[in-house]
Amino acid sequence: MRFLNIQTDYAFKKVFGSRESKNILKGFLNAILELPLPIEDLSIEDPYNVPKLIGMKESAVDVKATLSDNSIVIIEMQILNHDGFESRILYNTAKNYANQLDRSDRYSLLNPVIALTIVNFKMFEFEKYKSTFKLFEKEHFTEYKDDIQLVFIELPKFTKHIEECETIEEKWIAFIKEARDMSMIPASIKDLSLKQAFEIANTASLSKEELDIQEKREEFLFIQKSSIEKAKREGRQEGIAQGIEKEKMNIAKNLLDLLDDEMIAQKTGLNIEQIKALR
């Protein structure tokens, strides 16, 4: 038995954002998010955000869901860091919050938005793997309004193997981090939604076309990571920033036939105008 690499965009969306994923996503979010009440129901939405205002940037997240209380959760898996990444997360969250209203709607109709971002690199200096950011008054820590939350999971800081995990949260994170290295569903997995996630990730259940897509995504990640490492090495002679920018352009050229402009921009850190110029 073999499982997909859940950290690729295709596999992540397959497990958490497909038509069969409703119960899986509900179980995952109930385990990860610290909500006042468990999620009773949710609907998985089109994750592409069409801007309502002329001039606003288009953006996409991996999975987007509306919960039974009308809260919105946007979920993203990111393998490699790039310039402006933290700003992009904040931008996507703010836009999902603002785009709920038409011009004549009342502000009281706005529903909370939670951005759950899973990264395969370290973002913050503290050692805990999960962090939650909200709006607080900086001296007294009085909460302004609980309408926007940024939740981050840093996979490199999570060091337990799935056999060592005790909580359901830990088991979900181990699944995302280790699934492709497993040969069977661990006997310790009793949660139904997590078992279903393993079943969807089982490569035996995929068509040849789906396996080809996944292989291309894996190849893309390998090329991207190798190119950035190469750029850093060459950057010692020609300037790290220039070297990385050069390699980003090379990566983007190789992706023109595989991905759309927005996805290339998201994965390389280039802007849309640069990618359009390459086309």
Alpha carbons 66 and 113: distance in angstroms, whole number: 9
Amino acid identity, residue 153? I
Contact yes or no for 42/116 (Cβ under 8 A): no
The partner residues of 118 in beta bridges, in order of sequence, read 77, 153
Contact yes or no for 246/252 (Cβ under 8 A): no
Give the burial class of 85: count Cβ atoms within 10 A of its Cβ; 0-12 exposed, 13-18 middle, 19 or more buried.
middle
Tens-digit pLDDT profile for the chain (279 aa)?
Answer: 889 889 888 889 889 998 889 999 999 999 999 998 999 999 998 765 444 444 444 445 689 999 999 999 999 998 878 778 899 899 999 999 988 887 677 888 899 999 999 999 999 999 999 999 999 988 988 988 889 999 999 999 999 999 999 999 999 999 999 998 998 999 999 999 999 999 999 987 777 787 777 777 777 666 666 666 666 666 555 556 666 777 777 777 877 777 788 877 877 778 888 888 887
Domain positions in the chain: 9-204, 207-279
Query: Which token pair is 234?
Result: 């060459």
pLDDT value, residue 123:
93
Annotate 135-158 with b (16+ C-beta within 10 A) or e (fewer): eeeeeeeeeeeeebbbbbbbbebb
Contact yes or no for 211/11 (Cβ under 8 A): no
pLDDT value, residue 264:
79
From residue 80, give the alpha-carbon distance in Å to each of 140, 222, 224: 36, 11, 9
Contacts of 34 by beta carbon, 8 Å cutoff, 6+ apart: 132
Alpha carbons 32 and 268: distance in angstroms, whole number: 28
Give the burial class of 76: count Cβ atoms within 10 A of its Cβ; 0-12 exposed, 13-18 middle, 19 or more buried.
buried
pTM for this model (two decimals) = 0.76
Contact yes or no for 119/76 (Cβ under 8 A): no
pLDDT value, residue 67:
95
pLDDT value, residue 24:
96
